[in-house]
Structure 1
C-alpha cells in the first residue's frame, strides 16, 4: 500500500512540476482524471485500529479543563504542547462525542480565542498531514479509518485559518506541503459518506472544501492554487457515491471563492468543467447507477453555483449550454 501511494505521489509531483512550467496547462484535468482512474484499490479491508493515545478518562479531563477555561473567558487560558497533541492523537476516535463534539470544537475554540501559540501551528500541521494519519487504510474498501483521515483534513483547515489569523506563521513551502498532501489525499479517497449512524460525520469532501476555501486566501502561487483546485474537482467528478449531506454546496462555494478572485481562475474552472461530460458515463441505459450518481452530483454542483449572486458570466454561459444528459 505504501509503494502504491508513493507511486501516485510521484506522478502527481511530476504533473505539478510540468504544470508549473506551463507544459500541461490544457491537459492537467485529463491527466489527473487518468491518474485517479488508474489507482488500484484493495479488494479486502484489514482491521482498523482507531488512532488514539492514553485513556479516555485522561482525554475527557483535558477536554473539560480546556472547555471550562474557554467558557469562563480566562485571559490566561492556554494549551500545552502535551495537551494539544493528546487531542490530535485521539482525532481518529470512533466516538462522535469525543471526536466531533469534543476534539474538533475544542481545537476550533482555541483558535478562535487566540489561545494557540504561533509555534504550535506548524508542528500540528506536520502531524495531521503525515502519511500515517492522512492515508490510513485509504486504499481499502469503505472502512472506519475514514473518520480519522477526514478529521485530520478538517483540523488542517483549522490550523490553516490560525496561520492567517496569526499573520502568516507558515512559510510558503510549509503551506504547500500541507496542500500537496491533501491534493494527494482527495485523489486517493473513495469514501464519500456524510453522516454515519453511531460514528458521526465522515464528510471527507466537505472538509477538503474547507481547506480549498482557506487556500484561496493564502500566499500560494497561482499554479499551486490551480493544481489543488483541479485535484479537488477531478475527485468530485469521479466520486462513486451520491452526495446528500451538503458536500455539493461546500465544494461549489469553495471553488467559486477562487473563481471570484480574478477572471484567470474562472476561465480555468471552465476548462475543468469541459472534461466533465467527457470523462463520466453518458448513457444511463448502459451505465445504470454510476451514470445517475455522477449526473446528479454534477447537476447539484451546478445548481449550487447558479443560486450565487454575481456569479462570473463565463460560468453562467457555460452552465446554460450544458445538455440535459
Structure 2
C-alpha cells in the first residue's frame, strides 16, 4: 500500500516518462496499479462543511442583482465593483456546502458570472486557481466511502474548469508553473476519485466524473500544454473510469466519450491509446473469474456502457479503427 505522498511522487514520475517518450503502451496498466494501491479505507470520518452563511448569500445576491441590472441597462443599486478577497474566499468556501441553495444557486452561479463577466482581477483569478487545486479542496476525504466532501472536490474541479476556459479563450493569467501544478493535481484527482454518484437526494448534483471530463476538456484545448501531457490526462481519466466499482448512469460515460473522441480525432496518438485501452478492458474480462460481488459487475457494465456510448457517438465521429473494434467486441462485454 502506498501513502498519499508516495502515490503523488510515483504519478509525477509516470508523467515525466510519458513526456520523455519512455512510456506509452503500459501506461494504463501502471496507472491502474498505482490507483489500486492507494490507502482507501472502509469507514468514513466526520466531514467538516461550512455553516449556513446568510452573510455569503446576501453578498452574492446583491452582486447578482447588480450585474443583472447592468446587463439589462436598468437602474442598479450601487455595490462596490471590486470584490474583496475576504468575500471571494467566503464564496469559495460555499462550494463545499451540502445545500444546493448555497453551493449551486449561490457560489457556483456567482463565481461563473464573476469569471465570465470579468469582475475579478488577474491576481484574484490566479489565487482562486491555487486555492481550488490545493490538497484541502481536491482530496478532502477522498480515500473514504461516500461522504459529503465530494461536493468540495467536485465543485472545485468544475469552477477550475471555468477558470481554465477563461485563461485560454480570453486572457492568460496562469504561469507555466501553475499550469504544471494543475496538470499534476487534476491527474492525481482523476485516478483517486471513487464517488460516482450523480444526483444525491435533497443535496443535488455531485457529478464528479462529469466535472472531471469538463476540466480535462479545457486542459486538452490549451496550446501551452504539450501533447504528452494531454495524453497523460486522458490516460488518468480512463484509469479512473476503469477502476470505479459503482455504476455511472447519469450521463458521465457520454461525457468521457466526448473528451476521448475529440482527442482521438485530433491525432492518431490518442486514437491508438484509446484502442489499446479497449483491448486491455476486453482482456481483463477474459481473464476474470465469473464475478461474485456486486462491485465487479458494476465494472463490467460500466465498460459495456462505454462501448455502447461510442456507438451512440456515431460512426462519422469515431476513428475507423476504434469503430471497427467496438462493433466486433461490444456483444462480448454483456
Taking structure 2 as the reference length, the TM-score comes to 0.89
- Give the RMSD, CA atoms, in angstroms: 2.2
Alpha-carbon shift at residue 59 of structure 1 (Å): 0.5
- The aligned counterpart of 1:234 is 239
- Uncovered stretches (5+) of structure 1, i.e. residues with no partner: none
- Uncovered stretches (5+) of structure 2, i.e. residues with no partner: 74-79
- The aligned counterpart of 1:48 is 47
Alpha-carbon shift at residue 153 of structure 1 (Å): 0.9
Q: 2:64 aligns with which of 62, 67, 87?
A: 67
More helix by share: 2
- The aligned counterpart of 1:317 is 324
CA distance in 2, matches of 1:281, 1:182: 31
- The aligned counterpart of 2:9 is 10
Query: Structure 1 residues 324, 92: CA separation in 2 closer, same or farther (over 3 Å shift)?
Result: same
Query: Cα deviation per residue 1:93-119 (whole Å; 9 max; x = unaligned)?
Result: 111111012111121122222323222
CA distance in 2, matches of 1:280, 1:151: 34
Instruction: Provide the aligned length of Structure 1 versus Structure 2.
Output: 322
Query: Cα deviation per residue 1:291-312 (whole Å; 9 max; x = unaligned)?
Result: 4312221222222222334322
Answer yes or no: is the 8 Å Cα contact 2:261–2:317 preserved in 1: no
Query: Structure 1 residues 78, 260: CA separation in 2 closer, same or farther (over 3 Å shift)?
Result: farther
Query: Structure 1 residues 156, 281: CA separation in 2 closer, same or farther (over 3 Å shift)?
Result: farther
1:159 equivalent in alignment to 2:166: no
Alpha-carbon shift at residue 280 of structure 1 (Å): 5.3
CA distance in 2, matches of 1:61, 1:290: 44
- The aligned counterpart of 2:38 is 39
Answer yes or no: is the 8 Å Cα contact 2:96–2:152 preserved in 1: yes
* Greater Cα shift, 299-308 or 201-210: 299-308
* Greater Cα shift, 63-72 or 82-91: 82-91
Query: Cα deviation per residue 1:140-164 (whole Å; 9 max; x = unaligned)?
Result: 1221111111111111111111212
Counterpart secondary structure, 2:18: helix
CA distance in 2, matches of 1:260, 1:310: 8
CA distance in 2, matches of 1:196, 1:9: 30
| Matching of residues 128-277 of structure 1 within 5 Å | 128-218=132-222, 219-277=224-282
Taking structure 1 as the reference length, the TM-score comes to 0.92
CA distance in 2, matches of 1:306, 1:112: 35
